[in-house]
């Protein structure tokens, strides 16, 4: 199994593949960016894993393993850049994109909640949405079409990138440390990422707080 992970992630191109996947999944949420980050981080754990076993068994640790720090830097930078590109494109094509969003009740509700949260400084919604399926797309495009200010959106986008990158890479790396650098370890980590996504989607679907009594609707 170690050899399989090495063949997939041992090339320096893994950084470019991860960065491009994270960059474009704001437009194509089906891209497996999280899976790639986890797989590469699992392979990175091979460089520091101490294998205990019989003394007559030789376990080869690959020389070419990804750098966890460089991997996280690529994923973080690509995440913020992708959000910024989607935000700017949505602002420029706001009317046409706004009409498209208006046809979806879910997107309209998400955009309204996002606008209110950003306006109140409660952009933690951006962080939560980063884990939900297509949540990144909704908040980045919604912030652009809602003509939010970049200084309101980008700090939360950066925080979301830190949280998502740290969680995904941490799952792969520590999973590789504890379970070994195997496909089983990577699979368990991916399931944990999907579980976080399901929880984030549930939180986002919950209705916002009702207006206070006497507050204008």
pTM: 0.78
Q: What is the pLDDT, as a whole number, of residue 2?
A: 47
Instruction: Give 162-191 pLDDT, tens digit per residue.
Output: 999 999 999 999 988 888 767 788 889 999
For 176-201, give one letter per residue: b (16+ CB within 10 A) or e.
bbebbbbeebbbbbbebbeebbeebb
* CA gap 94, 101 in Å, rounded: 10
Residue with tokens 């400084």: 121
Contact 124, 155 (CB under 8 A): no
Quote the pLDDT of residue 57: 44
Return the pLDDT at 133.
Answer: 84
Low-confidence ranges of the chain (pLDDT < 70): 1-10, 47-64, 94-122, 181, 206-217
Q: What is the pLDDT of residue 157?
A: 92
Look at residue 213 in the predicted model and tell me its pLDDT. 41
Tokens of residue 153, six digits: 């959106």
Residue 193's nearest CA partner among 39, 78, 19 is 39
Our measurement of the distance from residue 138's CA atom to the centroid of its chain's CA atoms, rounded to an integer in Å, reads 13
Q: Which of 77, 38, 83, 84 is nearest to 162 (CA)?
A: 77
User: For position 59, what pLDDT does the model report?
Assistant: 44
pLDDT digits (tens, 9 = 90+) for 129-165: 899 888 888 888 878 877 778 888 899 999 999 999 9
Greatest Cα-to-Cα distance within the chain, rounded to the nearest angstrom: 78
């Amino acid at each position: 199994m170690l050899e399989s992970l090495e063949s997939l992630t041992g090339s320096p191109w893994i950084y470019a593949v991860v960065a491009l996947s994270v960059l474009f999944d704001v437009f194509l949420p089906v891209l497996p960016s999280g899976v790639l980050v986890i797989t590469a981080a699992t392979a990175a754990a091979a460089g520091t894993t101490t294998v205990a076993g019989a003394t007559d068994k030789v376990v080869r640790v690959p020389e070419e393993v990804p750098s966890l720090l460089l991997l996280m830097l690529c994923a973080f930078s690509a995440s913020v850049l992708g959000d910024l590109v989607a935000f700017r494109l949505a602002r420029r094509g706001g009317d046409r994109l706004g009409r498209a969003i208006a046809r979806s009740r879910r997107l309209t509700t998400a955009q309204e909640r996002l606008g209110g949260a950003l306006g109140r400084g409660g952009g933690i919604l951006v962080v939560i949405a980063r884990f939900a399926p297509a949540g990144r797309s909704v908040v980045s495009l919604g912030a652009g079409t809602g003509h939010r200010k970049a200084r309101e959106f980008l700090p939360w986008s950066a925080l979301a990138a830190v949280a998502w990158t740290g969680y995904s890479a941490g799952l792969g790396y520590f999973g590789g440390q504890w379970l070994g650098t195997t496909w089983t370890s990577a699979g368990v980590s991916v399931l944990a990422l999907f579980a976080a996504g399901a929880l984030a989607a549930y939180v986002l679907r919950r209705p916002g707080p009702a207006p206070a009594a006497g507050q204008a609707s």
